[in-house]
Amino acid sequence: MRYFEYVEPKTLDEACQFLNTYEEAKILAGGVSLVVLLKNRLITPSHLVNLKTVPGLNKIEWDDRAGLRIGSLNRHRNIIDSAPIKKHFPILSEAASKIATPSIRNMGTVGGNICHAEPSADLPPALMAGNATLRAVSSKGERKIPIELFFTDYYENVLNQDEVLVEIQIPPFPSQRLGGTYIKLDKVTNSIAIVGVASVICLDDQGVCNFAGLCLGGVASTPLKVERVKEIFLGEKIKETHMEQAAKEAQTISNPLTNVYATAEYRKEMVYVLTRKALQESLKKAQAM
CA distances from 132 to 213, 238, 269 (A): 11, 24, 28
Point out the domain boundary residue: 170, 191, 219: 170
Quick one: 44 and 85 in the same domain?
A: no
Please report the pLDDT score of residue 188 as a whole number: 76
Residues 38 and 135 in one domain: no
Distance from the Cα of residue 91 to its chain's centroid? 11
In a shared domain, residues 164 and 184: no
Q: Residues 47, 124: one domain?
A: no
Domain boundary among 137, 155, 170: 170
Q: Which amino acid is at 63?
A: D
pLDDT (tens, 9 = 90+) of the chain, 289 residues, equals: 568 899 999 999 999 999 999 989 999 999 888 888 888 888 889 999 999 999 999 999 999 999 999 999 999 999 999 999 999 999 999 999 999 999 999 999 999 999 999 999 999 999 999 999 999 999 999 999 999 999 999 999 999 999 999 999 999 999 999 999 999 999 877 678 999 999 999 999 999 999 999 999 999 999 999 999 999 999 999 999 999 999 999 999 999 999 988 999 999 999 999 999 999 999 999 999 9
Q: How many helices and strands in the chain, by DSSP H and E?
A: 11, 14
Answer yes or no: do 141 and 80 share one domain.
yes
Q: What are 199's strand-pairing partners?
A: 181, 214
What is the CATH classification number for the domain harbouring 244? 3.30.390.50
Q: Give yes or no: residues 132 and 86 share one domain.
A: yes
Task: Give the range of the structural domain holding residue 146, as residue numbers without chain letter.
Answer: 60-170
pTM of the model: 0.94
| Same-domain status, 162 and 74 | yes
The CATH number assigned to the domain holding 76 equals 3.30.465.10
